[in-house]
Amino acid sequence: MTSLAALAALEESGRLRRGDAAMVAGLSLGEYTALCAAGSLAFEDGLRLVRIRGQAMQAASLAKPSSMSAVLGLDEKGIADACREASSVGIVAIANKNAPGQIVISGELEALAAAEKGCQKRGAETLHSPHSRRRFPQRGDAPRGRYAGRRARRTPRFFRRACRSIRT
């Protein structure tokens, strides 16, 4: 909601017109804001989709409790080794490379705790977070109904421009 509020403020100030962005990007819920900014998704549809996504994530979380941790001060190989060792307990893996020196791991609670300990034994610091890839349902669990498989309202102009420039 914060990013959508910022988008609305930019539009009201005249500094941005929806659909005129040269490029948009978003992470997690920011993806919906990016689609709204590009004019590919109506605000109301975005709210409905975020609600459906939240319900699906909650159901997945209840079915298989999971979490994430940021690992600081350990190289990718050391983190991968710790995850591999912990995988005998459950699912855990590298989820994201946030920045140099900070890699996020994600997985089932027991396996994540084991991987955190493995990273700490290797000299890393770990910071726990409630997000996890396991919170997203598997493909077969995708929401059904009105918004499942719905196509974008229109192709963003910046995408059409990029496609034209690639062809020429």
Question: Would you list the DSSP string of 115-154?
Answer: HHHHHHHTT-EEEEES--GGGSPPGGG---STTTTPPPSS
pLDDT in tens, 50-91: 899 889 988 888 888 888 999 999 999 999 999 999 999 999
CA distance 103 to 5: 30
User: How many other CB atoms are found less than 10 A from the CB of residue 49?
Assistant: 18
**Residue 47 binned pLDDT confidence (cut-offs 50, 70, 90):** confident
pTM score: 0.60
pLDDT in tens, 128-154: 765 544 444 444 444 444 444 444 444
CA distance 112 to 133: 12
Tokens matching residue 149: 């498989």
pLDDT in tens, 89-127: 999 999 999 889 999 999 999 999 999 999 999 999 999
Average pLDDT, the chain: 79
Q: Write down the pLDDT at residue 76.
A: 96
- Residues counted in the chain: 168
Render the burial of 100-139: b for 16+ CB within 10 Å, e for the rest: eeebbbbbbbebbbbbbebbeebebebeeeebbebbbbee
**Residue 44 binned pLDDT confidence (cut-offs 50, 70, 90):** confident
Q: Write down the pLDDT at residue 1.
A: 65
CA distance 85 to 30: 34
Tokens matching residue 163: 């496609």
Q: Write down the pLDDT at residue 41.
A: 86
